Amino acid sequence: MSHALPKPHGPVVLCVMDGVGVGLGGEDDAVATARTPNLDAMRATCPYTTLAAHGLSVGLPSDDDLGNSEVGHNAMGAGRVFEQGARLVNDALRGPAWSTEVWRSLVAGRTLHLLGLVSDGNVHSHVDHLDRLIAQAARDGVARLRVHTLTDGRDVAGRSALTWIRPLEARLAEHRAAGRDYRVASGGGRMRITMDRYEADWSMVARGWATHVRGEGRSFASATEAIETMYAEDPSVNDQWLAPFVIGSPPCGRIEDGDSVLLFNFRGDRAIEISRAFTEDGLGHARDDLPRPQVTFAGMMQYDGDLGVPKNFLVAPPAIDRTVGQYLVAAGLRTWACSETQKFGHVTYFYNGNRSGLIDPALERYVEIPSDTRPYDERPWMKSAEITDAAVAAIAEGRFDHLRLNYPNGDMVGHTGHLEATRIAVEAVDLQIGRLRAAVRAAGGVLVVTADHGNADEMWIRKGAVVERGPTGSPVPRNAHTTHRVPFLVDDPRGVARLTTGLANPGIASLGATVLTLCGVTPPDDYLPSLVGPA
C-alpha cells in the first residue's frame, strides 16, 4: 500500500513530454541527440527511473503493441490498468458482437458501409477487425458492402498502405466472384480527411464527408491504382497525407438513405467528429448545411460516454472509474490542466477516464491553447512556450494544488518522420521544462516529468538491428510510436520524495498513485504502487 507524503507548500506538477521515450541512443534517436541541458541536469540530480508505456502495461493485447497517448493518459489518470479498445474488440469480434441488436440493425441496411483506418497499427483500428466484419457480413447475408479506407502512415511505416489495401481488394474480389457486391468505395490519408480531433481542423471532416458520403474526389478504378498513382506523382508523399479519392465513375459507394454505416475505429479522439456529422444536425461546418442521409450509424465503440457519441456502438468501452482527478476533488484539492488543442483532450478527457468536462468546476480549471494548422515539422516548437506561459501564470496565482500539462512536440513532430525537426521539437520542450522547473521551485512545489509513450526516440525503420534504406540509400523514416520505456523524474527540492524500491517493471499506471502521494492523499489499495515514497 502506498502512503501519502507531506504535501508541499507549492503545487505538484505533472509534465508529460508526449512521445519522448528512452531509446537506444543511435543517430536517429532525436531525444538522445538533441541538446537537452535541463533534462540532463535533472537526470544528474533528481530521482530518475524508466517506465513501461506500451502493451500489457497500458491494457493492450500484447507487449508487441505500441503505446499511444489515449491509453497512456487513461493509465496515468486511472492508477490501474484497464483492458483497452483493441483487446475488448478482439474479444467481442470472436462472437459476442454478432448477436447484438446493433449488428443486426447494421446488416439490415440496403448497403453496409465500413469506414475506418486500414492498417495493423492497433492504435485506432486493426485490419483484422475489418476482415472479421466483412466475413461476418457475408455469413449474415449482406449482399452489398462498401469499404471507405483511410490510409495510415503514422502508426505504421509511412508508405505501407498497399500492405493492407491489396489483400483487402483481393478478398473483396473473391466475394464478388461469389455473387456479393463488395467493393472499396473511397479513401484518403488520415491527416487529410475524416480523422480530425478536438475540432482542430473541421475542414478535414468536411473533406471526408464529401469523399465518403457524396462520392466527390479524384476517380480511380481501384484503391491500389489510386495509391500507386499518388506515390508516382509525389515520391515524398506519406500515406497519412494522401489526397481523397473515390472508386468508379460514377462513384460506386455514395452513402444514401436506408444504408448502414459502421465506423470501425475503436479509439475515440479522432472518431467523435465524423460520428457527430452522421448523427447530429446543425453541423454545417462539416456538411456545408446539406441534409445528412438517413442511415443507421454505429461506432465500433462509444467514443464519448458523457456526450453519448455515438448512441449506437458495437463494443462497450472500458469503464474507468475512481480516477486521480476524482480523488483530488474529493480531497478538496484544486487542479489546473493544460495543453494545446492536439493534446488538450488527453490531459482532460482521457486522463479523467474518458469523461468530458470538469469534474468539479469549483475546484478545476482547464486551459486549451489553439494549435497551429500548418505541418508540425515546419513549426516543431509548436505551442510549448505558450503552454509554459500559462503554467507559470497558474503557478504564480498560488491557488492550485496540482497542475498537469502535456507538451505534444515529441509525438506530433515525430509522426512527420523528419529527424532534424524532431530534434528541434525535443530541444524546444527541454527549454520550456527549464522555465517550468524554475517556476515550480520558486513556489515550493514538486515537478514530475515523464512521457506517455515513445516516438521521437527512434526515427528510422529497422529490421532487427539493420536500418531499412530507400531507393536513394537514405534511411526510411519511422513515423510510428516505439515500445521503448519512458523517463520518470521527480524534482522535490525538499528532499522528501525518493524512488520506491523493489517495484518490478513499473509502468506509467503507477503515476496515478504517485501524484496522489505527492499531493498528500493516500492512494486507494487497488492502485498500482507509487513510484515515490519517504526518504
Count of other CB atoms within 10 angstroms of residue 4: 17
What is the distance between the alpha carbons of residues 232 and 243, in angstroms, rounded to a whole number? 13
Strand, helix or coil for residue 359: coil
Which of these is catalytic: 69, 125, 260, 275? 69
Confirm if 28 and 419 have CB atoms less than 8 A apart. yes
**DSSP state letter for 349:** I
Which has the closest alpha carbon to 72: 19, 129, 127? 19
Name the grid cell of 134: 466483412
DSSP label at residue 347: I
Q: Is 62 designated active site?
A: no
| Contact yes or no for 74/346 (Cβ under 8 A) | no
Integer Cα distance of 230 and 307 in angstroms: 38
Quick one: cell of 176?
Answer: 464478388
3-state secondary structure labels for all residues of 10-71: CCEEEEEECCCCCCCCCCCCCCCCCCCHHHHHHHHHCCEEEEECCHHHHCCCCCCCCCCHHH
Burial class (CB in 10 A: 0-12, 13-18, 19+), 362: exposed
Query: How wide is the angle at C-alpha 149 spanned by C-alphas 86 and 162, nearest 5°?
Result: 90
φ, ψ dihedrals at 495, nearest 5°: 75, 15
- Please state, in angstroms and rounded to a whole number, the distance separating the CA atoms of residues 94 and 75: 26
Beta bridge partners of 339: 368
Please confirm whether the linkage preceding 408 is cis (ω < 30° from 0): no
Dist. CA 404–CA 420, nearest whole Å: 28
What lies within 8 Å, CB to CB, of 361 at 6+ separation is none
Helix axes 69-78, 511-518, angle to 10 degrees: 50
Distance between terminal CA atoms of the chain?
16
Residues tagged active-site: 69
